[in-house]
Structure 1
Amino acid sequence: MVVLKEFMQMEAAAGIILLICAIVALILANTPLEFWYNMFLYDTTAEIRVGNGPLHLEKPLILWINDGLMTIFFFLVGLELKREMMEGMLSKPSQVVLPIIAAIGGMAAPALIFYGFNVNNPDPSAIHGWAIPTATDIAFAIGIFSLVGKGLPSSLKVFLLALAIIDDLGAILIIGIFYSHGLSVMNLGLAAVFLAILILLNRMNSSKGSVYLLFGFALWFCVLKSGVHATISGVIIAFCIPLTTPGNRRSLLRQLEHDMHPMVAFYIMPLFAIANAGVSLAGSSWNLLIEPITLGVALGLFLGKQIGIVGAVFLAVKLKLAKLPKHCNWIHMFGVAILAGIGFTMSLFVSSLAFGGGHSGIGGFSSHLVEAKVGILMGSTVSAIVGLLILKYASKHFPVTSSEDEIVQEVTHQHDTPKDAVKA
């Protein structure tokens, strides 16, 4: 229970910080500071260079953030996924059936709504943004959930966390499959060699972090050069980190997860938000709010998530594939489904992959990227407000007073018993 409680508290604080950073980014992008904001992030004449010769990388700051720092974020996501799949919330079919079904519905419905708005878009490239509203920002969602206070069942919090984790896995698969391009066979081959070394280290149960760092960086470099998005390497490397260790020492995976979580939550993700949430509205009109991409993203997040999640859960319950979480009713489920529409950082990241290039629009960005960002901010904001109000209503009219000790028996005892873990 301690592990889960600490995680929730950190994610809640991180969500509040992300909100502040989003506001800062919007201020920077819509004041006289806009020129310096864009130049600092996007100026190709002042790119940051690392390395020499054929092993060098030279990119503007925005790409170091999106390709480099976000790899660290996905590495942490990979560590969490592996631990949950081996011994946590995703380790037993009875625990994972409902979140998986909910996540599938919560990704399919937003994508279909976006497709419906953009299938006849005069610009065929607009359809590339179909995955933008499928994502959920776990930190933001849990941050809003925490504002409700007491009265909500603990099982609902666990469901939201499991849903968000599975949603992250879906986003990872989407990025790897649909947003990779210009594949280099040679670099993919080199990446496979370094991956084989990492797997061998795992089978040897090596706990030397420096060795994993060395070959992990080599894998990241090769994946970056291969045409597959570099962030995927973060998850691959994470799955090679051993979960168990000889003796009673803390495993490398647990140690890395514990040490990296504050850095990612309070430094990397806020920096990403400041760098990517800023969108200049100078020269734009109200028509921006009714562009197909804007509406597809905004309504995909707000309506698509609640329709997809509640609809999928309803079918699962009626078909007796799963039951609602303990002490939860449909009002609780509806509120959580709306909170899942807070896409924010994950949606911003996918939008940068879908519309990162293209013709120049407002503020020097691709016009589609501007529309997507506005849609993300609209959909995420409305989802946060409405989700909070519904959960506040639920906590007042359907208060739950049962002890949080239920979580110990149902889920979190598995977090704190590494001796029962399967070697991996």
Structure 2
Amino acid sequence: MRSQRLTPDCANHSVTCLGVARLLAVLVLTLLLWIAVWMSGIDATVAGELAARLDPIRKPHGAPDAKNSPLHPLKHGLQPRLAFVIVPIIGFANAGVALGGVGAGRLMMPLPAGVAAGLFISRQVGVRGAVLGATKPGRASRPRWASWGQPYDAAPSCGIGFTMSLFKGGLAFAYPMSVDEVKIGALAGSIL
């Protein structure tokens, strides 16, 4: 790790201007930041957000290039594992609901069915309706390369996700039984 004097154009990118360009240095600094934030009593996810904002991207000839970041190979190497293994495990672990004895009868109860429908059906209706509402009156035009089916295809990935559904359900309902039903509905809607 090398350092150099900060210049005026480096004021907003101090980590980059300090020349932190080695993966090990970035990981050690991130770990120290996480420990400091956690020990301060602030939620440690704040450290992750701060560390992501300080990803040192070196700027050759004034143009930003993420491939020059020391974290670039690490991010791309971890992406499949994070997206398909770690994030789902964390989501299910945070859900904290026992799935033993959950059958079709419990899924069809009003609260779980409503949450599942809200996650699944409302996305398609909302996205498709917004696209039609913008294009039919002439406020917007559909790109030539896009089909009318593409908004429907993209709709399931729009809106709030599994963990935010759990968070909002936990705030909306006080009884543990209701919160469990919200969790089951959010899980069912996310699987759909």
Question: What TM-score range do you get, normalising by the shorter chain?
Answer: 0.5 to 0.7
In 1, the alpha carbon distance for the partners of 2:105 and 2:166 equals 21
Q: CA deviation at 1:355?
A: 3.0
For 2:32, the equivalent position in structure 1 comes to 218
Q: What is the identity, as a one-letter code, of the residue corresponding to 2:57? A: L
Superposed CA deviations along residues 120-148 of structure 1, whole A, max 9, x for unmatched, are xxxxxxxxxxxxxxxxxxxxxxxxxxxxx
Q: Are 1:234 and 2:56 an aligned pair?
A: no
In 2, the alpha carbon distance for the partners of 1:308 and 1:376 equals 18
TM-score (norm 2): 0.64
Larger radius of gyration: 2
Q: How does 1:11-410 map to 2 (within 5 A)?
A: 200-224=14-38, 229-246=43-60, 250-272=68-90, 275-276=93-94, 279-282=98-101, 286=105, 289-292=108-111, 294-318=112-136, 322-337=140-155, 339-340=156-157, 346-348=161-163, 351=166, 355=170, 366-382=176-192
TM-score (norm 1): 0.34
Q: What is the identity, as a one-letter code, of the residue corresponding to 1:257? A: K
Let me know the Cα RMSD of the aligned residues. 4.0
The runs of 5 or more residues in structure 2 that have no matched partner are: 1-11
Q: How many residues align?
A: 175
| 8 A Cα contact 2:170 2:179, kept in partner | yes
In 2, the alpha carbon distance for the partners of 1:289 and 1:351 equals 18
Q: CA deviation at 1:319?
A: 6.1
Q: What is the identity, as a one-letter code, of the residue corresponding to 1:290? A: M
In 1, the alpha carbon distance for the partners of 2:104 and 2:149 equals 37
Q: Specify which structure has the higher proportion of helix.
A: 1
Q: CA deviation at 1:347?
A: 1.0
| 8 A Cα contact 2:57 2:68, kept in partner | no
In 2, the alpha carbon distance for the partners of 1:315 and 1:226 equals 48
Superposed CA deviations along residues 65-103 of structure 1, whole A, max 9, x for unmatched, are xxxxxxxxxxxxxxxxxxxxxxxxxxxxxxxxxxxxxxx
Cα distance 1:263–1:304, how it changes in 2: closer, same or farther (>3 A)? same
Task: Give the secondary-structure state (helix, strand or coil) at the position aligned to 2:108.
Answer: helix
The runs of 5 or more residues in structure 1 that have no matched partner are: 1-197, 383-424
Q: CA deviation at 1:299?
A: 1.9
Cα distance 1:287–1:275, how it changes in 2: closer, same or farther (>3 A)? closer
Superposed CA deviations along residues 356-410 of structure 1, whole A, max 9, x for unmatched, are 9x98x8xxxx43442122112322333xxxxxxxxxxxxxxxxxxxxxxxxxxxx
| 8 A Cα contact 1:243 1:254, kept in partner | no
In 1, the alpha carbon distance for the partners of 2:167 and 2:136 equals 39
| 8 A Cα contact 1:245 1:252, kept in partner | no
| 8 A Cα contact 1:205 1:245, kept in partner | no
| 8 A Cα contact 1:342 1:379, kept in partner | no
In 2, the alpha carbon distance for the partners of 1:256 and 1:208 equals 12
In 2, the alpha carbon distance for the partners of 1:201 and 1:319 equals 49
In 1, the alpha carbon distance for the partners of 2:186 and 2:178 equals 12
Cα distance 1:281–1:241, how it changes in 2: closer, same or farther (>3 A)? same
| 8 A Cα contact 1:242 1:252, kept in partner | yes
Task: Give the secondary-structure state (helix, strand or coil) at the position aligned to 1:330.
Answer: coil
Cα distance 1:257–1:327, how it changes in 2: closer, same or farther (>3 A)? same
